Amino acid sequence: MTDWIPFGEGKYFAEKAFLLSPVDKAIELESAYIEIYTGAGGKRLMRGRSFVRNILIVLLLEDSDDLDILLDLGPEHRYRIFKPDINAGKVFSPDVKSRLQFVPTRPWQHLTEDDYRVLSDRMEIVAD
């Protein structure tokens, strides 16, 4: 999966990022960033991290286990990551935040400005 990563090695902070269910419910990810690095065999790989209130993930999972990530790295750099591997804390107290880690399982989808705006407009932000 080296051809689909359009960035060089380094950290790239998101202006906005969301965890998104198939029915367009979403929660905002805090302090989200992606890291591009070189893995075994010289392949470029990507992983991301953010903070999230765990209880909100539980609310999204009521709709589906298939969650995507909507990532806004700035104009011309907006992406949808379909069904990434997600790892997060396991404490579900309403006030607890933990680090969420995600790794794409397939190439991400680049979104045009119009596609991003349409998707953003129809998202329902979940709060407890």
Q: pLDDT per residue over 40-61, tens digit each?
A: 888 889 999 999 988 888 888 8
**pTM assigned to the model:** 0.89
Q: Which two tokens stand for residue 95?
A: 């006030």
Determine how many CB atoms are found less than 10 A away from the CB of residue 77: 15
- In this predicted structure, the answer to whether residue 94 has a pLDDT above a threshold of 70 is no
Residue 1: pLDDT band (50, 70, 90) is: very low
Residue 73: pLDDT band (50, 70, 90) is: very high
pLDDT of residue 78: 96
pLDDT, mean of residues 66-81: 95
Q: Which residues pair with 23 in a beta bridge?
A: none
C-alpha to C-alpha distance for 59 and 8, rounded to whole angstroms: 35
For each of the domains in the chain, give its residue range(s) and CATH number, in order of start. 10-125 (2.30.110)
- In this predicted structure, the answer to whether residue 95 has a pLDDT above a threshold of 50 is yes
pLDDT, mean of residues 58-72: 91
